[in-house]
Structure 1
Amino acid sequence: MTKLKGILLTQGMHGMISQAEGLAKALDIDFTHHTVELNNFWKVIPPKLTPVSQNVYKKINQDDFDVIISCGRKSVIPSIHLKNTANKKVFNIHIQDPKVNLNHFDYIVAPEHDALDGQNVINTKGAIHYLTENEISENKDYLNSFIKKDERKICTLIMGGPTKYYDYSTKNIKNIFTMLDKLLKKHDFQLVVIPSMRTPINTIHYAKEFFGDNHTVIVDVDKKAYLSALAIAENIIITCDSSSMISEAALTGKPIYVANILAKKHDKRFQSFRRLFRELNIIRNLGDEVSIFNYEKLDETNRVAKILKQKINL
C-alpha cells in the first residue's frame, strides 16, 4: 500500500519540529518539512484576527499531499488555507491550541495543561515528540570520546534558553549551577551538559568555566550527543523553560529533576504541566533529595498516532 504524503508546517523551532515530525513518523507517512513565513504585519496579528488567504504567508511549494501536520501560531492560517484549497480530501492536524475555531481542523492534538476540549481534540500528557527508545539506545556510545573515563555515574543537564517567562541571567544560572554542584559533590556524579538551539553561547561558556575540566560540557547543538546523554544518565536535570524536553526525557523512565527559574510573568501553563508530571511521579525539583524513583515511560506520540490511524484509516 502506498504511503500517504504529508507536509509539516512549523516556525522552525526545535520543540515544534520535534512534535510535528514525531507524529508524522509515528503515522508512517512520507513527509516534507516547511518553515512557515508570514508576510508583513501578519507576523504579529493573532490567528483569530487573520484572514484565511495566501496573502498572509509565503507560498509553500508543495501541491501533492494527503495530510497536513501543523504546530505553532504562525502555521494555523497556512494549514487551514492549504486544506481549503486542496484539489482532494486532505486531513489537517494541528498540534497545540490554535486559538481559532477548532472546526477548522480535522483533529487537534493538545496537552492537558492547555485545557482544550472538543470532539476533534486528542489530549496528551505533556508534549508529543520525535524521540524513540530505539534511537536513544542506538546512540548510547556516541559520547564515549567526550566524557571522562572514570567510575562516576552520569548526571545529565539539558538546557533550554530564555523565554518571555524565564530569564537566563547570570544570577539565575549561577543559582542552578550552585545547587547542581552540591549534588555532584555529594553523590560523586560526573556532569554532562547538553545545550539546545535556544541556549545562549555565554551560558554554555559559563558552564565550562563553572564546572571545569572534571565534567563534560558539549558546546555545539548535537542531536546524537543529546540522545547519548539521555541513554547514559543515571539522573536527568532539565531547565524549567522546556516542557518539550521534559516530555522527551520522560520516554526514558529515568528520574527527572527540574531546574527552576523564578518566572518573570505568570507561567500558569508551565506550572500546570509540571504539576501533572509530579502527580505522575515523573519529575521532582532540583534541590530535592536525589533518589531512584520509577514511573511508567511516557510515549504519548505513539498513543496518539494509534488513535489517528483508526480515525483516518491509515
Structure 2
Amino acid sequence: MPRDLPVVWGLLDDRPGHATQVQGIGDALPWPMIEKPLTFGWLSRLDNRILGASALGLSRVARAGLVPPWPDLLVTCGRRCLPVARWIKRQAGGRTRIVHVMRPSISTDIDLLVLPYHDRQLTNEEVEVIRVTGAPHRVNAARLAEGAQTFLPRFAHLPEPRIAVLVGGPAHHVRYRRDWARELGLRAVALAESLGGSLMVTTSRRTGSHAAAELAMTLKIPHVIWKPGDPEPNPYLGMLALADAVVVSVDSVSMVSEACATGKPVHVYGGDRLVGHKLKMLVTRLFKEGRIVALGDPFDHAPPPPLDAAGEVAAVIMDRAEQWFTQTTRVNAALSEAG
C-alpha cells in the first residue's frame, strides 16, 4: 500500500435507501469517505445503456461538485449513479476502482459488484461479485453504543425487557390488510406482556397517519412512540441499541437488515403477506439463518452474530487494496489534472 491514504468518494443517490448503503460501506472502511450528494434531471430516466459513461443524468449543481482530484475508490448504489461512476473513472484515466451495490443493467467498469442474495446472479464472469444477505447499512457497534448513550434518558423509565417496534407501511410487494397496523400493535403488545416488558415504537412516513393512530390505540402497556413530524429527534438508533428484542414489519429490506444487525431476537410481521419475489427470497433466507421468527412464534434459540453486509464488503475491499491502489493519491491527482 502507498503511504498516502486512497481517496474515497461515495456517490449518494437522493433516494435515502440507496445513500444509506453507500454510507454504511464508508463507515466500515478505515479510510475517510468524501460524500458526493447527487441530484438528477430528466435524462436520468434513460436506460443506462443509452447514457453510457456520462454525467448527462445529473443536475447542473451536482455536476459542478465532481472535480479533480479524482478518487481512487468510488462506492455507488442504484441505477442512476452508475453512468456517473463510469464517467468519473474515464476522467481519472481508468484508475478509479468502482464498488457498486445492486444488480446493474450493464456491468462495464465495475471492479466489485455487491449483489444481495435476494437479487438475481450476474452472468458476466468478468466482474468480481460478493454476495451478501440483506443490504449494507449504518447500524454498527459504534453507532449503537452512541445511540444507547444519547437516548437512554428517553427510555430509562420503561420496564425491561424493552422491545423495539419498527413499523413501515404498505408497499407494492406487500399486501397488508386494512387493519394491519392494529394487528401488528396487538401482536407486539402480546409479546411484551408475555415477557413482562414494554415497547419502544417508531413509525415511518409510509405508515400513514390513519394506520399510526390505529397502532397507537393498541398500546395499552408502558411504551414510547415516535412518529415522523414529532418535535423530538428520531430515536431509531436508540431503540435498536436499548432493545432486548425487535419487532419489524417486513416491507423494507433496509429496516429488516438493520433489525438483524443488533444481534438480538427479531420478530417479523407481514411475512405471510409478501408478493414480491426479492423480499420473499430475503425473508426465507433470514428464517433459514435463524435470524427471524414470525411475530407470535417464540424465539427459542440464540440469535446469530449481527448481520453486517457493509463490514463484509469493506473486508473484501481491504483485501484488494494492495492490488488496486498502486498509485498514491498525489500521483493520481497530478495525472488527472494533466489529463
Report the TM-score when normalising by structure 1.
Answer: 0.87
One-letter amino acid matched to 1:185: E
Separation in 2, partners of 1:11, 1:147: 34
More moved, 170-179 vs 302-311 = 170-179
Separation in 2, partners of 1:272, 1:183: 26
Separation in 2, partners of 1:2, 1:25: 19
Separation in 2, partners of 1:202, 1:226: 21
- Structure-2 change in CA distance of 1:116 and 1:226 (3 Å): same
The aligned counterpart of 2:237 is: 227
Greater C-alpha Rg: 2
The aligned counterpart of 2:328 is: none
Aligned residues: 311
**Is 1:113 aligned to residue 107 of structure 2?**
no
The aligned counterpart of 2:96 is: 90
Find the partner of 2:109 among 70, 85, 104.
104
- Structure-2 change in CA distance of 1:54 and 1:300 (3 Å): closer
Counting only pairs closer than 5 Å after superposition, residues 173-184 of structure 1 correspond to structure 2 as 173-184=181-192
The aligned counterpart of 2:311 is: 302
How far residue 213 of structure 1 moved from its aligned partner, in angstroms, is 7.3
The aligned counterpart of 1:75 is: 81
Counting only pairs closer than 5 Å after superposition, residues 258-269 of structure 1 correspond to structure 2 as 258-260=268-270, 263=273, 266-269=275-278
Find the partner of 1:282 among 291, 309, 331.
291
1:228-247 Cα offsets, whole Å, 9 max, x none, are 21122121011101222222
More moved, 74-83 vs 279-288 = 74-83
CA RMSD, Structure 1 to Structure 2 (Å): 2.7
More moved, 109-118 vs 275-284 = 109-118
- Structure-2 change in CA distance of 1:83 and 1:48 (3 Å): same
Separation in 2, partners of 1:167, 1:14: 23
- Structure-2 change in CA distance of 1:25 and 1:286 (3 Å): same
The aligned counterpart of 2:219 is: 211
One-letter amino acid matched to 1:243: V
One-letter amino acid matched to 1:80: R
Find the partner of 1:247 among 257, 266, 271.
257
Separation in 1, partners of 2:172, 2:29: 33
Separation in 2, partners of 1:34, 1:199: 30
How far residue 273 of structure 1 moved from its aligned partner, in angstroms, is 0.8
How far residue 274 of structure 1 moved from its aligned partner, in angstroms, is 1.0
1:70 touches 1:76 (CA, 8 Å); kept in 2?
Answer: yes
Separation in 1, partners of 2:179, 2:206: 18
Separation in 2, partners of 1:204, 1:34: 34
1:10 touches 1:36 (CA, 8 Å); kept in 2?
Answer: yes
Report the TM-score when normalising by structure 2.
Answer: 0.81
How far residue 262 of structure 1 moved from its aligned partner, in angstroms, is 6.0
1:148 touches 1:214 (CA, 8 Å); kept in 2?
Answer: no
The aligned counterpart of 1:18 is: 20
The aligned counterpart of 1:137 is: 145
Separation in 2, partners of 1:69, 1:79: 8
- Structure-2 change in CA distance of 1:248 and 1:84 (3 Å): same
2:14 touches 2:37 (CA, 8 Å); kept in 1?
Answer: yes
Separation in 1, partners of 2:288, 2:233: 29
- Structure-2 change in CA distance of 1:87 and 1:43 (3 Å): closer
One-letter amino acid matched to 1:113: H
How far residue 162 of structure 1 moved from its aligned partner, in angstroms, is 3.5
The aligned counterpart of 1:272 is: 281
One-letter amino acid matched to 1:66: D
- Structure-2 change in CA distance of 1:285 and 1:48 (3 Å): farther
Separation in 1, partners of 2:157, 2:32: 42
The aligned counterpart of 1:62 is: 66
One-letter amino acid matched to 2:191: L
How far residue 51 of structure 1 moved from its aligned partner, in angstroms, is 4.0
Percent of aligned pairs with the same amino acid: 20
1:228-279 Cα offsets, whole Å, 9 max, x none, are 2112212101110122222222222111111116658x31111111111111
1:155-177 Cα offsets, whole Å, 9 max, x none, are 11112344322367752222222
Separation in 2, partners of 1:205, 1:32: 40
- Stretches of structure 1 that go unaligned for 5 or more consecutive residues are none
Separation in 1, partners of 2:14, 2:6: 23
Separation in 1, partners of 2:87, 2:152: 48
One-letter amino acid matched to 1:286: L
The aligned counterpart of 2:172 is: 164
Separation in 2, partners of 1:229, 1:176: 18
How far residue 61 of structure 1 moved from its aligned partner, in angstroms, is 0.9
Separation in 2, partners of 1:124, 1:16: 15
